[in-house]
Amino acid sequence: MQADVLPILIEELDQAARDLVLVLEDYHLAESTPVAESMAFFAESRPARLQLVLSARSDPQLPLGRWRANGQLAEIRAAQLRFDEAEVAAFFGRDGVGGLSRAELVTLTARTEGWPAVLRLAAIILGAQDGTRDFVRAFAGSTRQVADYLTTDVLATVSPDLRGFLLRTSVLPRLCGPLCEAVTGRKASGAILRNLSRAGLFTGPVGLDGRWYRYHQLFAEALRLELEVTEPSLVPELHARASAWFEQDGDLESATEQAIAAWDTRLAGRLIGNQLQPLLGAGHLATIERWLAQLSWPQALQDPELAAARAVAADERSRPEEAGRWLDVAGLGPRQSMTATGVPRGFGTDLLRSFFVAGGVRSAHQAALRAVEEAPVPMWKGAALAGLGQCSYLLGDHDGAAEAARGALALLPDDPNMLSLASGYLALAECHRGSPQRAERVARRIVNLVESRNFALSGTTAMCYTGLGAALTARGYLAEADDRLSLAVELYQDGSPSVWLAHALILLAACRHAAGDTARARQALEEATAILDRIPDPGILPALAASQQGKLLAPTRRPAAYGQELTEREVVVIRLLAAGLSQRDIAAQLVVSPNTVKTQVRTAYRKLGAGTRVQALHQAAKLGIL
Amino acid sequence: MAGLPCRIVINGELPERYQRAFDGLSLRCHPGCTELSGTLADQSQLQSLLNRLFDLDLQVRSVRTGQECARPDHPGGPP
């Protein structure tokens, strides 16, 4: 946010060339540490003509002390917001409540501490009855907590019908006519809400379109408590009705929240199962995790549907062991029973096992084979083939991997995650089979797709970068290869050490070695080996690492035909020539001038006793340099 | 696990139905204030309890935890 989005925003605001005020109301609701950091940055870098106004119920996590000391901050706190007697009198006067004596005003102000929300309650009660004096006296004499006292009194003034309506709708985060009707069974709920709002009875509009309302927090809390005391068994039922209405209205997120509040495990499982892919694609993993954290009662922890969601969330965070454990829970129950996403449970679990490489490569490979067998429709077969491609590659079966991945690409729908997986491994397999050009084409297509759609980058999408990086290394485009592989490493590093991270590191080591950067190549390889040591059954990766290790340790200087050794740099250049790069390309890759490369090439030819490129490469191959 | 004994005093007397509002704590009214006492799991729970009190616009007068809670009450007045 800070690095990319805010500078653009600040720049555009600056160009507005007029005074602007940015108001953030109820800021405390949005605040978290990352938000606070971005906000502090924005506040301090904003254009001078932009004034920032925040309203919040609690002090925000911003450098208030510093701003205060520098005279940059104007604060309006509780002391100034409180009404004094004159303001209380004016407030009541506006509501048509008059005839209060000075003493009564003083009492009311003191007792309510000048707090507008509570005064409004008092105004309603005063407006509704004749015995002002009695009310004020009783109110003054009571030691009951103020807000609760007045809320109770207000509730006493409404009809039992309306009271029932208020109690039942208090469980909702926001209200509109049709929703309230669905929850309470009361027709014309919209009119009720409008009247409540007009009467100032704690109901205020939300947003500008006049559809939604909300109860003032104090009021809603009191109502909710009252409901829990009088009709506790009704509460889950009300939430369930709300969930159904939100779902029908298309608001799946609110439907999920209501389902959780209703303690309905199955409903929550179905809703979350259906939202996993869309939310993950939009980068909203945190929402899924928040819901799963709330679903913490015993039945919810054993629910297979939710377990599958938990496995996916764990995998997104690159926590493969945890993902594997949840998959075991998800697999409980008959293989043929259907999950929320409409696939047989056995198939669904095996599919995920093949994606997460849960329990080691061999076990995941078995799961992948089963999944391909049992896939219910072509689209799912495509997904299963992507998983098989991964597992086959990791077992060292490059031909099998290529075949499976190609099959996957033919059947897969437009899903960047799965496409990334399939094309990443296809690219890797093609590199092993000696077709780096084809590999690059395959991988780049998906990389472009992912980037053009602004798809959320995660461990799952990183595979296409790994594949592209390998292809580019083989083709000699080392600078871009390093970039792509480093990005993949970064994405995988967010989570715990995994086969994918190790793999990307091995490829990065190969890329750096090809560029002659032996020290950093060794570093990457050491990291990879350390990870692989801790993973049970990582397939062929240790062998790949060992082979790369061998290349690093081998002497880079080789005797030339006429007894003069090629330098390390010259070997690098010859290798890049062999890969098909022009001298200009090589200069770009190694970040040196074309003249330097020209000299190195000439010297290398001389040492190899060659007159042309073909001769030089031939000699180099004979000597085992390539 | 010992848990965290705690005693919180808020302004104003809260009625009976608030007994259910605070998990694991019992309410007792004194003139002009209410005392919530009991054993919480840990500091995390204390934090979220304080947030809830804030959300309910209840004003906290004092918070005591651990051994301090063992101090005897003064009858008829806030501790």
pLDDT digits (tens, 9 = 90+) for A83-104: 998 999 998 888 777 778 888 8
Q: A118-132, A262-276, A336-350, B1-15 — which is least confidently predicted?
A: A118-132
Partners of B18 on chain A (C-beta within 8 Å) are 148, 225
Parent domain of A116: 81-157
Mean pLDDT of A147-168: 86
Domain boundary among A27, A57, A75: A75
- Going along chain B from its start, the domains and CATH numbers come out as 4-69 (3.30.70.1560)
What average pLDDT is seen over chain A? 88
pLDDT score of B76: 43
Domain boundary among A75, A95, A115: A75
> Both tokens of residue A446?
């998906």
pLDDT score of A6: 87
> Both tokens of residue A180?
């309230």
Q: How far is CA A325 from CA A304, A332, A363, in A?
A: 12, 12, 14
Q: Indicate the residue of A57, A149, A226 with minimum beta-carbon distance to B17.
A: A226
pLDDT of A46 higher than 50 = yes
pLDDT score of A445: 93
* Cβ distance of B32 and A143 shorter than 8 Å: yes
Q: Which residues pair with A54 in a beta bridge?
A: A24
Q: How far is CA A406 from CA A184, A203, A268, A411, in A?
A: 55, 59, 36, 9
- Would you say B69 and B25 are in contact if contact means Cβ atoms under 8 Å apart? no
* Cβ distance of A228 and B54 shorter than 8 Å: no
Residue contacts between A and B (CB atoms, under 8 Å): 44
Mutate to test the interface with A, among B17, B48, B54 (most CBs of A within 10 A): B17
pLDDT of A208 higher than 60 = yes
Question: Is residue A232 situated within a structural domain?
Answer: no
Tell me, yes or no, whether A126 and A62 share the same domain. Answer: no
Tell me, yes or no, whether A96 and A42 share the same domain. Answer: no
Mean pLDDT of B49-70: 85
Tell me, yes or no, whether A62 and A87 share the same domain. Answer: no
pLDDT of B1 higher than 80 = no
Closest Cα of chain B to A503: distance in Å? 40
Q: What is the C-alpha separation between A388 and A351, in angstroms, rounded?
A: 9
Q: CATH number, domain at A408?
A: 1.25.40.10
Q: A119-133, A193-207, A450-464, A549-563 — which is least confidently predicted?
A: A549-563
pLDDT of A352 higher than 70 = yes
Is A228 at the interface with chain B, CB within 8 A? yes
Tell me, yes or no, whether A414 and A455 share the same domain. Answer: yes
Tell me, yes or no, whether A381 and A414 share the same domain. Answer: yes
Tell me, yes or no, whether A402 and A530 share the same domain. Answer: yes
Q: What is the C-alpha separation between A537 and A544, in angstroms, rounded?
A: 14
Question: Is residue A469 situated within a structural domain?
Answer: yes
Q: CATH number, domain at A609?
A: 1.10.10.10
Tens digit of pLDDT for each residue in A565-619?
Answer: 788 888 889 889 888 888 898 998 888 899 999 999 998 888 888 888 888 888 8
Question: Is residue A245 situated within a structural domain?
Answer: no
Tell me, yes or no, whether A94 and A70 share the same domain. Answer: no
Tell me, yes or no, whether A12 and A89 share the same domain. Answer: no
Is A226 at the interface with chain B, CB within 8 A? yes
Confidence of residue A2 (pLDDT cuts 50, 70, 90): low
pLDDT score of A96: 76
Question: Is residue A311 situated within a structural domain?
Answer: no
Closest Cα of chain B to A34: distance in Å? 20
Residue whose C-alpha is closest to residue A95's, from A65, A64, A126, A72:
A126
Confidence of residue A554 (pLDDT cuts 50, 70, 90): confident
The structure's pTM equals: 0.74
Tell me, yes or no, whether A541 and A577 share the same domain. Answer: no
**DSSP sequence for A406-465:** HHHHHH--S-HHHHHHHHHHHHHHHHHTT-HHHHHHHHHHHHHHHHHTTPPP-TTTHHHH
Tell me, yes or no, whether A507 and A608 share the same domain. Answer: no
Closest Cα of chain B to A227: distance in Å? 10
Neighbours of A190 (CB within 10 A): 18
* Cβ distance of A144 and B15 shorter than 8 Å: yes
Tell me, yes or no, whether A598 and A489 share the same domain. Answer: no
Comparing alpha-carbon positions, the chain A residue that sits nearest to B30 is: A143
Q: A90-99, A382-391, B25-34 — which is least confidently predicted?
A: A90-99
Number of domains in chain A: 4
Residue whose C-alpha is closest to residue A458's, from A502, A492, A421, A413:
A492
> Both tokens of residue B44?
């995390």
Confidence of residue A42 (pLDDT cuts 50, 70, 90): very high
pLDDT of A561 higher than 60 = no
Question: Is residue A180 situated within a structural domain?
Answer: no
Tell me, yes or no, whether A410 and A513 share the same domain. Answer: yes
Question: Is residue A112 situated within a structural domain?
Answer: yes
Q: What is the C-alpha separation between A260 and A243, in angstroms, rounded?
A: 9
pLDDT score of A336: 84
3-state helix, strand, coil in chain A (%, to 5): 70, 5, 30
Q: What is the C-alpha separation between A166 and A182, in angstroms, rounded?
A: 14
Q: How many angstroms separate the first and last alpha carbons of chain B? A: 27
Question: Is residue A268 situated within a structural domain?
Answer: no
Is A233 at the interface with chain B, CB within 8 A? no
Confidence of residue B73 (pLDDT cuts 50, 70, 90): low
Question: Is residue A381 situated within a structural domain?
Answer: yes
* Cβ distance of B57 and A218 shorter than 8 Å: yes
Q: What is the C-alpha separation between A224 and A151, in angstroms, rounded?
A: 12
* Cβ distance of A228 and B20 shorter than 8 Å: yes
Domain boundary among A102, A130, A157: A157
In degrees and rounded to multiples of 5, residue A371 shows phi and psi of -65, -40
pLDDT score of B75: 45
Confidence of residue B77 (pLDDT cuts 50, 70, 90): very low
Q: What is the C-alpha separation between A219 and A147, in angstroms, rounded?
A: 9
Tens digit of pLDDT for each residue in A282-309?
Answer: 778 889 999 999 999 999 999 999 999 9
pLDDT score of A205: 85
Q: How much of chain A, in percent, has pLDDT values that exceed 90? A: 46
